[in-house]
Amino acid sequence: MRSDTIKQGLERTPHRALLKGTGVPQSAFDKPFIGVATSFTDLIPGHVGMRDLERFIEKGVHSGGGYAFFFGIPGVCDGIAMGHRGMHYSLPTRELIADMVESVAEAHRLDGLVLLTNCDKITPGMLMAAARLDIPCIVVTAGPMMSGRGEGDRKYSFVTDTFEAMARYKAGVIDAKELQVCEDNACPGMGSCQGLFTANTMAILTETLGMSLPRCGTALAVSALKRRIAFASGERIVELVQNNVTPRSILTRAAFENAIRVDLALGGSSNTVLHLLAIAREAGVDLPLETFDQLAKETPQLASMNPAGEHFMEDLDTAGGVAGVLKQLGNKIKDNPTVLGISTLQLAASVENVDETVIRPLDNPVKQEGGIAVLFGNIAPKGAVVKQSGVSAAMMQFEGTARCFDSEEAAMAAIMEGRITSGDVVVIRYEGPKGGPGMREMLAPTAAIMGMGLGDSVALITDGRFSGGTRGPCIGHISPEAAEGGPIALIEEGDRIRLDIPNRQLQLLVDDELLAARRTRWTAPEPKIRTGWLARYAKVVTSAHTGAVTTAE
């Protein structure tokens, strides 16, 4: 066992003494040492229930014959970090999380890991660490929140009933009382936000990749099932250690293609593009950005999920969950191992009934193409990403006038002050991985556009990114970013921009000679943040089309 390095032999007497100082009994030194990386925090609804799940994981580890050690991992709530300086830190924490898990596991020579996680950047950070370490790992995502309840059959969700409600109130569509009702009911308790936002999309994709047990991606945070999954995961990690089943044997090219197809079939968050690219890189799997678009053209969207659709995570869970989606996708899914020990096709075959009102069959899809499209053009030579499942038919092709802003705050002020009107294309730049730094989410401006009734007449493009809750014609991840001199930096107020999602085009309608002249006048801006670790992050982070990863190069 790896842990023998710190617990066996005469020269490890000091190490054993320190371990005994933590309470480890002599009988435990012959057992696998299992680390439980937990992102419990009182700050995030998706994580407040983890103390309970920790108990069940620990019970499972000890029942399986291992010895459990807990260590903490930080978490940032994107919703709370949204719209202010805090959002600069969200995406970069993904790298911190991967580095922290690696550091503890290597320094203490742990035999295996249970990764207890839930929200947006925490789950991919954990998976990056698993792929990098390649020691036995299993992931437990803490589960989605129940939808809020209102009068009659009204269901509330976090994004549409807070961010968009804020804009509807500003526009005079709802009054202060209704706004307060939204605030009070949108988040009824523990769990990740109820729709197919980034946290829940990543939980689903973790299960699809084969790195968590069946139903883990959809079982509600408040459910007894989630406790049982936590216990079973604790037991299973010991078996994975005993059989030396490591993440890279599961995180194959086939696994990533399956994950992309499930994402496309459900119309999931565009942030998953960044995260799957980053995880694949750690796993040594070649996964170019173009793969997402290639698969999107042959993978129909089978579900209509909140925020762009009608169904919530609780509906998807009872309809068949991830296994139900795999079953409906049929021969589009490739066989691949999972941490349970059965393959993806065996998992799909185990589902007897799928509620086809929630997860439709291939011959009756919600849309003919998957939920994500990758666009190219003279604005985005290396690509841009749009969640096309959230775009209305009227806005799939659009031409408008550029309104340029060099920060999210400037754009948000213009939207809330009524300076953005029908026919505009809002351009938010210098918000990419380097320029932000941290590639902030633009949920506030996109929700404001929707809430003010401009979703079918205004587009938004950015080198930043979007929340999984974003809907409407919002194009993000534009690469190269403005801070690197990408063409988005050369757009000027009043330019015409053409968006053509069916043909995967994003074009600035300015001739090449004029753009070349503008480039000669462009100079790189001063960094927005010059101190702290984000200043270091900005120097080593790569472009969005590579997953916005950090390198030593």
| Rounded distance between C-alpha atoms, residue 449 and residue 470, angstroms | 10
* Mean pLDDT score of the chain: 94
Residue 553 pLDDT > 70: no
User: Does residue 386 lie in a domain region?
Assistant: yes
Provide the residue count of the chain. Answer: 553
Question: Which tens digit of pLDDT belongs to each residue from 433-477?
Answer: 999 999 998 878 888 898 888 989 999 999 999 877 677 899 999
User: Does residue 41 lie in a domain region?
Assistant: yes
- pLDDT attached to residue 213: 98
Q: Using DSSP, how many helices (H) and how many strands (E) does the chain show?
A: 20, 14
User: Does residue 171 lie in a domain region?
Assistant: no
| Rounded distance between C-alpha atoms, residue 315 and residue 303, angstroms | 11
Catalytic residue among 39, 467, 479, 543: 467
- What is the count of structural domains for the chain? 2
Q: Does one domain contain both 448 and 530?
A: yes
Band of the pLDDT at 156, cuts 50, 70, 90? confident
Task: Name the pairing type of β-strands 33-38 and 67-72.
Answer: parallel
Of 297, 315, 350, which marks where a domain is finished? 350
Q: Per DSSP, which regions of 222-290 are E strands?
A: none
- pLDDT attached to residue 259: 98
Kindly report the CATH number assigned to the domain that includes residue 391.
3.50.30.80
- Tell me if 481 is assigned to a ligand binding site: no
Do the beta carbons of residue 256 and residue 285 sit within 8 Å? yes
User: Does residue 121 lie in a domain region?
Assistant: yes
User: Does residue 168 lie in a domain region?
Assistant: no
Comparing C-alpha atoms, which of 38, 13, 187, 55 is closest to residue 122? Answer: 38
- pLDDT attached to residue 490: 97
Question: Which tens digit of pLDDT belongs to each residue from 513-536?
Answer: 999 999 999 998 899 999 999 999
- Tell me if 406 is assigned to a ligand binding site: no
Comparing C-alpha atoms, which of 203, 167, 204 is closest to residue 182? Answer: 167
- pLDDT attached to residue 181: 86
Q: In what order do the strands lie in the sheet containing 474-479?
A: 372-375, 383-387, 474-479, 459-462, 424-428, 397-405, 496-500, 505-508
Q: Does one domain contain both 106 and 45?
A: yes
| Rounded distance between C-alpha atoms, residue 211 and residue 429, angstroms | 36
State phi, psi for 368 to the nearest 5 degrees: -70, -25
Q: Does one domain contain both 345 and 416?
A: no
Q: Does one domain contain both 325 and 384?
A: no
Q: Does one domain contain both 74 and 7?
A: yes
Question: Which tens digit of pLDDT belongs to each residue from 121-149?
Answer: 999 999 999 999 999 999 999 999 998 88
More confident residue, 241 or 551: 241
Q: Does one domain contain both 324 and 259?
A: yes
Q: What is the pTM of this model?
A: 0.94
- Tell me if 59 is assigned to a ligand binding site: no
Residue 467 appears among annotated catalytic residues: yes
Question: Which tens digit of pLDDT belongs to each residue from 411-442?
Answer: 999 999 999 999 999 999 999 999 999 999 88
Kindly report the CATH number assigned to the domain that includes residue 265.
3.40.50.2300
Q: Does one domain contain both 113 and 253?
A: yes
- pLDDT attached to residue 421: 95
Q: Does one domain contain both 426 and 479?
A: yes
Sign of the Cα pseudo-torsion (201, 52, 116, 61, in order): negative
- Tell me if 164 is assigned to a ligand binding site: no
User: Does residue 118 lie in a domain region?
Assistant: yes
User: Does residue 183 lie in a domain region?
Assistant: no
Q: Does one domain contain both 301 and 421?
A: no
CA angle 379, 383, 384 (to 5 degrees): 80
In order of 188, 241, 463, 489, 528, the CA distances from 379 in angstroms are 42, 48, 10, 9, 23
DSSP state for residue 147 in the 8-state scheme? P
Q: Does one domain contain both 326 and 446?
A: no
Q: Does one domain contain both 346 and 383?
A: no
Question: Which tens digit of pLDDT belongs to each residue from 30-54?
Answer: 999 999 999 999 999 999 999 999 9
The answer to which of 36-40, 76-80, 489-493 has the lowest mean pLDDT is 76-80
Could you please report the per-residue DSSP string of 80-111? Answer: HHTTSGGGGGHHHHHHHHHHHHHHHHHHTT-S
Comparing C-alpha atoms, which of 199, 38, 201 is closest to residue 120? Answer: 199
Q: Does one domain contain both 93 and 215?
A: yes
User: Does residue 9 lie in a domain region?
Assistant: yes
Instruction: Give me the helix-helix angle, 90-107 and 271-283, nearest 10°.
Output: 30
For residue 515, give its domain range. 373-546
